[in-house]
Every structure is written in structure tokens, then in C-alpha cells.
């Protein structure tokens, strides 16, 4: 019978760059479209003001970076202690591998292996490790595990897509950053990986064409409701997909780490805050529910609530929530909530041991 380790992490892009992580907020503040009252620090929530401080968020950024690194080291230690046969990662595809010619709600990437060069054309300056532009990373896949999962889901009536090779991009940022960070100390990451893509951006996928990925703009998404794309999969469906994955893996012969990878509320997706800061209050509600094993709270969430809170990428965590519920795991063995108003998003880490 299969053994399952549950992990929640982030793939926050700025951890890979030597930058003040509040750069996006700085560019939104310079955007003429920002409502005038939000330009005045006095009008911000007190915790946000404190993080901004008198150094445009540099001290908070430094601390946040260290907290992220510490938590990635802990997550890696959990993986190494568990010794998985493969690692499944739920991550969003942000107009990278899936573009105008095909956008599956869910896709199991059952690759044999793939190579990627994270710093080729990199636009955020020096990378955190000062690795050269041609630095190449090989991700071993687990084709048998991917095929098994796609087969199990289809047999249950969940019409998931699958792929044996990439379409437009060797490996989207959700997966590549997860691997970069789980190997922060560069000792190598040899565990085979099955990326499980979730169309978390939904109505804004093609409509924004990856705009939020750009480090050179204030990254405003289209505000008009017209001409957006079909929606993301429903939160309850992500939850049920996660449950089906957990059940299938329990029946399998493998030890599998199942990983939700994403930051929580994103400022650039939170329209009600003029895209300046994330919905921290909502993040705290979901974190409390996670700690209490209140999985109904998660499953009863509507997609409208997800979009309102900038929780698009949290759909990856809805998959993990459903999996943990199916396994009867009531709360994480370890968890951390890294509150950050000014670096685009709060980050959460969680460990559910077998």
C-alpha cells in the first residue's frame, strides 16, 4: 500500500532573484491608475506600513527571504526523511506550456525527463546563486506514476489530460521554481517528479498572456469583465481531484510526496485592493481552517470567492486539501504562515507526515 507525504510550499519567483521583494508594490505605487488615497502610507493597514518601514520594505524583504529559505530547508528535510519514489507537484501554468492552442483544466505531465535553463533570458538581474546563463537542470520524470494517476482519475470519471512531452515550454515556473527552492543548497534533486498542472489563472490566462510574470511592468491585468477566458476549474473540483489522487496513490506500490506549490493571495490578482496588496485577512481564514482540519470550509469555497481574494493560485492547495481530507489528516504536523503585505503575497508552508 502506498505511503503519502503531504507538503505545501510556494514557488514565489522573487526568491530566485537578488532584489528587494517589494519591487512590484513600488511599481504599482508609481502607476497613475492607482487611486490617490492608496498612495499615502498613512492610509495603509498598520501591518503593511510597518513592513514598508522607512527603507521601502528592504528590511522586511531580507527577513522574508531568510524565512522562506529556512522553510524550504525544512521541507527538503521532510522529503529526504521520507525518501519518495516520486514527487507530485500541483502547480499553475501561467501561459507557459499551455497557450492559445490548448488549455486543459488539469494535466498530468508524465514525462520521462526534461531539462530547463532557468537563467536563459532571465529578466530579474542576478539570480540568488549567481549561476551562469547556460546553467541546465535536469528533472527526472516518473512516466509510470503519471500514467497510473491519469488512468486512475479517468477511471473515476475525472477527465484529466496527460502529456508525455512539453508543448510550448520545458517546465513552467510553478514547477521549475519549486525544484530550485527545494534544492536551495544545491545538493541535487534526484527525486523523479510528476508535475500536475492546474489552470489556476482561468479567466485571466490568455487574457493576461502571462503579464504578471513580467518584472518590467506594474502588471495590471484586464479589469473589464468582457472578453476574458473560460474559468478555472471549480475549487470543489480541485478538492475532489486531490482526493482521487490520494486514493489512487494509497492503492499504488509507491511512496509519493504530494506537493501544493503556490503563494496564497496575490496582490496583482486582488482587484478590491487596487492590486496593491493581497487579501491577508482571507489568507488567515484559510490558514486557520487548514490548521483545524476544517476541510469543509475549503471545499465550500466558490470560484467567485477565489477570484475576489486573489486566491487563483490557491487552487493548487485545494487539491492538497482534498487529498488530506481523503486521507483523514486533520491538521498539519508542521506549518508556517509568512505574513507579507508588500511582497505580493503571503506564503504558507505545511507538512502532513504519513
Q: Shortest Cβ distance from residue 343 to Fe ion (Å)?
A: 14
Residue nearer to Fe ion on the CB measure, 2 or 104: 104
Residue nearer to Fe ion on the CB measure, 215 or 293: 215
Q: Shortest Cβ distance from residue 312 to Fe ion (Å)?
A: 9
| Nearest residue relative to Fe ion (C-beta) | 92
Find, among 113, 93, 77, the residue nearest to 175 by Cα. Answer: 93
Distance CA 7, CA 5 (A): 7
Find, among 107, 115, 262, the residue nearest to 194 by Cα. Answer: 107
- Say if residues 198 and 234 touch (Cβ distance below 8 Å): no
Residue nearer to Fe ion on the CB measure, 315 or 326: 315
- Say if residues 107 and 169 touch (Cβ distance below 8 Å): no
Q: Shortest Cβ distance from residue 174 to Fe ion (Å)?
A: 5
Q: Shortest Cβ distance from residue 198 to Fe ion (Å)?
A: 10
Residue nearer to Fe ion on the CB measure, 4 or 25: 25
- Say if residues 178 and 11 touch (Cβ distance below 8 Å): yes
Binding site for Fe ion (CB under 5 A): 92, 174
Distance CA 42, CA 51 (A): 13
Q: Is residue 210 within a helix (H) or strand (E), and if so which, with residue range?
A: none
Residue nearer to Fe ion on the CB measure, 14 or 252: 14
Distance CA 315, CA 118 (A): 25
Q: Shortest Cβ distance from residue 15 to Fe ion (Å)?
A: 12
Q: Shortest Cβ distance from residue 263 to Fe ion (Å)?
A: 7
- In whole angstroms, how far apart are CA 253 and each of 12, 41, 143, 249? 33, 56, 15, 8
Residue with cell string 470560484 = 303
Q: Shortest Cβ distance from residue 173 to Fe ion (Å)?
A: 6
Q: Please list the residues that pair with 114 across neighbouring strands.
A: 139
Find, among 209, 229, 210, 234, the residue nearest to 315 by Cα. Answer: 234
Residue nearer to Fe ion on the CB measure, 201 or 352: 201
Amino acid at each position: 500500500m502506498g505511503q503519502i507525504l503531504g507538503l505545501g510550499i510556494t514557488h514565489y519567483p522573487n526568491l530566485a532573484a537578488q532584489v528587494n521583494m517589494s519591487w512590484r508594490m513600488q511599481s504599482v505605487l508609481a502607476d497613475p491608475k492607482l487611486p490617490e488615497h492608496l498612495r499615502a502610507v498613512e492610509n495603509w493597514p498598520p501591518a503593511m506600513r510597518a513592513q514598508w518601514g522607512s527603507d521601502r520594505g528592504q528590511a522586511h524583504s531580507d527577513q522574508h527571504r531568510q524565512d522562506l529559505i529556512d522553510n524550504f530547508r525544512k521541507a527538503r528535510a521532510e522529503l529526504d526523511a521520507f525518501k519518495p519514489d516520486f514527487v507530485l507537484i500541483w502547480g499553475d501554468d501561467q501561459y507557459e506550456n499551455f497557450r492559445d492552442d490548448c488549455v486543459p483544466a488539469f494535466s498530468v505531465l508524465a514525462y520521462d525527463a526534461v531539462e530547463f535553463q532557468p537563467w536563459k533570458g532571465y529578466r530579474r538581474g542576478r539570480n540568488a546563486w549567481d549561476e551562469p546563463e547556460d546553467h541546465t537542470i535536469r528533472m527526472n520524470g516518473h512516466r509510470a506514476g503519471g500514467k497510473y494517476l491519469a488512468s486512475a482519475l479517468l477511471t473515476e470519471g475525472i477527465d484529466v489530460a496527460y502529456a508525455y512531452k512539453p508543448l510550448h515550454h520545458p517546465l513552467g515556473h510553478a514547477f521549475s521554481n519549486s525544484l530550485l527552492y527545494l534544492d536551495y543548497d544545491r545538493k541535487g534533486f534526484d527525486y523523479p517528479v510528476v508535475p500536475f498542472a492546474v489552470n489556476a489563472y482561468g479567466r485571466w490566462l490568455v487574457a493576461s498572456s502571462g503579464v504578471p510574470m513580467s518584472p518590467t511592468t506594474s502588471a495590471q491585468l484586464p479589469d473589464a469583465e468582457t472578453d476574458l477566458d473560460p474559468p478555472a476549474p471549480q475549487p470543489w473540483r480541485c478538492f475532489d481531484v486531490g482526493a482521487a489522487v490520494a486514493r489512487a496513490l494509497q492503492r499504488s506500490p509507491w511512496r509519493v510526496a504530494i506537493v501544493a506549490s503556490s503563494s496564497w493571495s496575490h496582490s496583482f490578482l486582488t482587484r478590491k485592493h487596487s492590486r496593491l496588496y493581497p487579501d491577508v485577512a482571507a489568507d488567515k481564514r484559510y490558514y486557520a481552517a487548514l490548521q483545524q482540519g476544517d476541510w469543509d470550509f475549503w471545499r465550500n469555497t466558490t470560484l467567485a470567492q477565489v477570484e475576489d481574494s486573489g486566491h487563483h493560485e490557491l487552487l493548487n492547495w485545494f487539491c492538497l486539501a482534498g487529498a488530506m481530507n481523503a486521507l483523514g489528516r486533520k491538521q498539519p504536523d508542521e506549518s508556517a504562515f509568512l505574513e507579507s503585505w508588500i511582497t505580493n503575497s503571503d506564503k504558507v508552508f505545511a507538512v502532513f507526515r504519513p
